[in-house]
Amino acid sequence: MISKSFLKSSLIYTIGGALPMLASILLLPFYLNYLSEKQYVSLSFYIGISLLLQILFSYSVETYFGVKYTQLNESPAEQKRFVGTISIFSLLIGIGLILVSLLVFPFLFPHVFSEKDQVTFWPYGLASVITAFFNAYFKTATNALIYFKKPGLFFICNAINFVATISISVAGLVHEPNSLYGPISGRFYSGVIIFLLSLYIFRKHAEPAFDKTFLPDLQKFCTPYLMYVLCYWVLTNIDRYFLKSAIDKDTLASYDIILKCFFGIEFLQNSLSAVIFPKVFDLWARHRKHETIPESNRYFNVFTVINLLIIMFFCIITPLVIQIFAPGKPGYFKSFAYIGIIGAGYATRSILNFYMSTILFSKSTLLLVKIFGYSALVQIAVTYTLVSHFGILGAVYSGIITKLIQVIFSYYFTRHIFSYHFNWMKIYGLPLLYIAVSIILFYTIPSYNLVIYGLVFLVFSGLFYLIFRNEIVALAQQFFARKR
């Protein structure tokens, strides 16, 4: 029986962990109203740089932390030394990378960004680098709180970050509209606050020691995982860097806004995966074979249904929301016609999760580097080629092509670790059908049409009901049935 305390703490961790993404989404209306399209694009690049540097600053230590900390459960003293080592190691990485940035970035920025991009290292670039360090250190510290079993403190720290980021950013935008001062300051000064909170967390739960014996295992785990996360950044950000010289800033701003709104889909996909994977892993563990079974397939079939319905809903609601919050800025509406095929790229997530679960269950995490590394190389080549010829449409299609190639790589690299038995139509057919319908609609009705997107939602809902009726009912009963 799952205890109430476990459910309560899990809910707190889920909500607290979602607050940074929620802050980013809630700030979008203020960006739309107080920044021009060109300024928004510049801000997007500063945020992208900060996210890239955050990956390097963290060195995936936050992921390794839980693995090692739980292995040391029998020795609390060694746990404290490990926590102290992680804190000092993260600080050393931060200081080192900031010094490297001061030496390299003033010369690198002019080669990456032109004058019309309005992206410079001084002062906002440097502020973005330091913010990345603060956020990386905070992420490691708050992730540690999960293993310290401190859900209350975890939520309070994330709530402070949430409130500080939004309040300082909005105050800055209101005080200095049409300036990046507010958004950059909001991220930087909230970063200072959470850095101080992180120091408090580590000081309270760690022994101030640097034990080098932990480093070889840390490096062995973190280096390949770092490469995987870097590849993921490339897959989700590189298109903007090719587009900035191929299309006007208004269109690029509109495209980026839609992608930011679709962060909500990624959050829901991740949350649903967090619910499904433990159930599937338990089934496979009891089955004692590395092969998919009908019971586990049902979870992925339901994921397919929910995922596609969420995508279709976002395609309906996103343009409406943007028009409500930015009624006087039609420059942000330029990419509405592409929203269907942009959303179609997210349809492959249900297929990827099918294979991702087998990688995680078999502990073959090095395959993640291969799949996403090769995909990143394909993304760079395809995006560069298509964007130069087709502009934003090339970026959209390169995203779809890359995601489909990820599916191919996932099957190819996992077929030797798992035996697959599934209904092809339910796992592959429906997402591919939705992609095909979205592409056809784009060419037959080349503009955003609320009625058409509503009809697509209704037609697919009816199709899902016919195909999955018995399966959805059975799974719902399994989830919600009370134990006697």
Residue by residue, pLDDT tens for the chain (484 residues) are 344 554 566 667 767 777 888 888 889 999 998 999 999 999 999 999 999 999 999 999 988 888 788 889 889 999 999 999 999 999 999 999 999 999 999 999 999 998 888 999 999 999 999 999 999 999 999 989 988 989 899 999 999 999 999 999 999 999 999 999 999 999 999 999 999 999 999 999 999 889 999 999 999 888 888 998 999 899 889 999 999 988 898 899 999 999 988 877 887 787 777 678 778 888 898 888 889 898 888 889 988 998 999 999 999 999 998 888 888 788 888 899 999 999 999 999 999 999 988 987 887 878 888 999 999 999 999 999 999 999 999 999 999 999 999 999 999 999 999 999 888 999 999 999 999 999 999 999 988 899 999 999 999 999 998 888 776 666 566 655 544 4
Among 39, 4, 16, CA closest to 158: 16
Other C-beta atoms closer than 10 Å to the C-beta of 204 total 11
DSSP 119: -
User: Which residue type sits at 422?
Assistant: F
Angle in degrees, 0-180, between the axes of helices 76-112 and 215-243, rounded to the nearest 10: 30
- Residue-level pLDDT at 463: 94
- Residue-level pLDDT at 422: 87
Please tell me the total number of residues recorded for the chain in this structure. 484
Contact between residue 16 and residue 158 where contact means Cβ atoms under 8 Å apart: yes
- Residue-level pLDDT at 298: 86
Q: How far apart are CA 315 and CA 321, in angstroms?
A: 11
Contact between residue 414 and residue 359 where contact means Cβ atoms under 8 Å apart: yes
Q: What b/e readout covers 110-122, taking b as 16+ CB neighbours within 10 angstroms?
A: eeebeeebbbbbe
Q: Count Cβ atoms within 10 A of the Cβ of residue 174 and give its class: 0-12 exposed, 13-18 middle, 19 or more buried.
A: exposed
**CB-based contacts of 154-157 (< 8 A; 24+ apart in sequence):** 154/12, 154/13, 154/16, 155/12, 155/13, 155/15, 155/16, 157/16, 157/194, 157/197, 157/201
- Residue-level pLDDT at 462: 93
pTM of the model: 0.85
